[in-house]
Amino acid sequence: MSLELTAPTPEEPSVADDGTWLECIECGAQFAPFEDVRYTCDDCDGLLEVRYATPPTWDDFDGRGVWRYNAALPFEEGVSLPEGATPLHEVPRLEAAIGVETLRIKHEGMNPTGSFKDRGMTVGVRVAKELGVGRLACASTGNTSAALAAYGARGGMETLVLLPSGKVAAGKIAQAALHDARILEVDGNFDSCLDIVQDLAARGEVYLLNSLNPFRLEGQKTIGLEILEEFHEDYGTYPDRIVLPVGNAGNTSALYKAFRELVQSGALDADEVPKLTGVQAEGAAPMVEAVENGWDDTKRWDDVETKATAIRIGNPVNAPKALPGIRETGGTAVSVSDEEITEAQRDLAAEGVGVEPASAASVAGLRKLRNEGVVGEDEQVVCLTTGHLLKDPDAAFEAGDDPEPVPNDTDAVLDHLAE
């Protein structure tokens, strides 16, 4: 199987361009990377991966941010704002409360548009320029649209985003609008939007930059490379487990791909790879269902609902890549309630780490798995938080403390504080 953790480095085929090509994870068909626009396999419609003849080692990396890792990417540089180099926060009180040896928070909300999606767009928009396409497009629960609009604007390209009507946080719509994207609100959920965008892409009307596009995941895999490098610098080892929110399962797929390539190059031993652990909201948990039932793919949930809008997705397109990543690394998946997500969001805020609800799902999931004994007290864990607090200001306001009205008088303020 091409997605095994210990699969050898693939042989370079004749279709490769400077050691890079596309390969189907289902049937193994191989394609030139930049000759034609292609999202899935021509032969079987399976998902594609970007493959490299020479996977990188740690010595190949230099610089800062996403493009520090250009030896692991299709180009030397991309359309950049710049992105990456996000903090790996210490959270000592939360670490003690959950009861693990080490807990660090990888805060992807500190990217230019406030989410991890910027990592994928710096690569994806660069590929779009290489292919010579005009109009970029995505379906989005919000963060993808903000990132695509910003990077499309940076690249001087037309951008179209489709959003589920009434289901996207205002902060995210505002970003896409200000960056001059054309916004279409669809009377349906995210998966309906993605169906339409895929149809538009199939007709040649747009270049699709959802995570179905294999080049998007190349940028996102740098999250895993940063986590391993910074954690190793601080502790001299790698984390036992990485816990991350799951919507379309792109990050799970991307991190697993990064780790496979490091194993191929000999930079990482297979037993050093962290356990990938996915967390979904109870109202949108097809990946958890698939893990629990041992399925190779998910079954589509047509009705999904959660306050964690960024992961309100019922048909995760990257599941065939992500499920092997969870299983091959010894990880698992768990669902959490909206109440547990809000509690985790407050706990992170108490440590000064401000995230949107979907981001906090990772911490809520870790707490649940620790309470169930799945995660041990001796584990060193990194939780990925994917979006900034201000992505969803309404949810932040609801989770936080209410303002307290006081008179316009200093003594009255002091009296109020003393009550």
| Strand 333-336 relative to strand 136-139, pairing | unpaired
**Which CA distances in Å does 72 have to 20, 69, 270, 374?**
10, 6, 18, 33
**Residue 47 domain flag:** no
- Residues making up the chain, counted from first to last: 419
| Same domain as 229, residue 318 | yes
CA–CA separation, 419 and 416 (whole Å): 5
Q: Are residues 246 and 106 in the same domain?
A: yes
pLDDT tens readout for residues 214-256: 999 999 999 999 999 999 999 999 999 999 999 999 999 999 9
Same domain, 98 and 242: yes
Judgement on whether residues 160 and 239 belong to the same structural domain of the protein: no
Is there a domain that residue 152 lies in? yes
**Bridge partners, 301 (sequence order):** none
In Å, how far are 105, 109, 379 from 94, measured between CA atoms? 10, 19, 14
Q: Is the same domain home to 244 and 318?
A: yes
230 exposed, middle or buried (CB, 10 Å; 0-12, 13-18, 19+)? middle
Residue 380's H or E segment, with its range, is: strand 380-385
pLDDT band at 393 (very low <50, low <70, confident <90, very high): confident
Within-domain flag for 327: yes
Of 213, 239, 270, the last residue of a domain is 213
94-108, 181-195, 341-355, 356-370: least confident range: 181-195
Instruction: Supply the pLDDT for residue 168.
Output: 79
Here the CATH number for the domain that contains residue 298 is 3.40.50.1100
Written as six digits, the tokens of 276 are 């990938």
Q: Indicate whether 1 pLDDT > 60.
A: no
Kindly state whether residues 393 and 255 are assigned to the same domain.
Answer: yes
- pLDDT tens-digit profile of 350-375? 999 999 999 999 999 999 999 999 99
CB of 384 within 8 A of CB of 362? yes
User: Is residue 320 domain-resident?
Assistant: yes
Do residues 103 and 233 both lie within one domain?
A: yes
- In angstroms, the CA 346 to CA 352 distance is 10
Q: Using an 8 Å Cβ cutoff, are 260 and 275 in contact?
A: no
Domain end residue (candidates: 166, 196, 213): 213
pLDDT tier, 392 (very low <50, low <70, confident <90, very high otherwise): confident
pLDDT over 60 at 398, yes or no: yes
Relative to beta strand 182-186, strand 241-245 is: unpaired
Mean pLDDT of the chain: 95
**pLDDT, tens digit (0-9, with 9 covering 90-100), for 32-56:** 999 999 999 999 999 999 999 999 9
Range of the domain at 313: 88-114+217-399
In a domain, 8, yes or no: no
Going 359 to 238 to 269 to 225, the CA torsion angle's sign is positive
Last residue of a domain, one of 183, 213, 243: 213
Residues 240 and 334 placed together within one structural domain of the fold: yes
The pLDDT, as a whole number, for residue 266 is 97
3-class DSSP state of 106:
strand
Residue 286 pLDDT greater than 60, yes or no:
yes
Q: Do the domain assignments include residue 39?
A: no
What does pTM read for this prediction? Answer: 0.95
Query: Which tokens sit at 175?
Result: 């970003």
Regarding whether 359 and 339 lie in a shared domain, the answer is yes
Tens digits of residue pLDDT in 103-150: 999 999 999 999 999 999 999 999 999 999 989 999 887 889 999 999
Cross-strand bridge partners of residue 31: 22
Residues 197, 269: one domain? no
First to last CA, the chain: 66
Number of domains in the chain: 2
Asked if 163 and 271 sit in the same domain, the reply is no
Residues 291 and 390 in one domain: yes
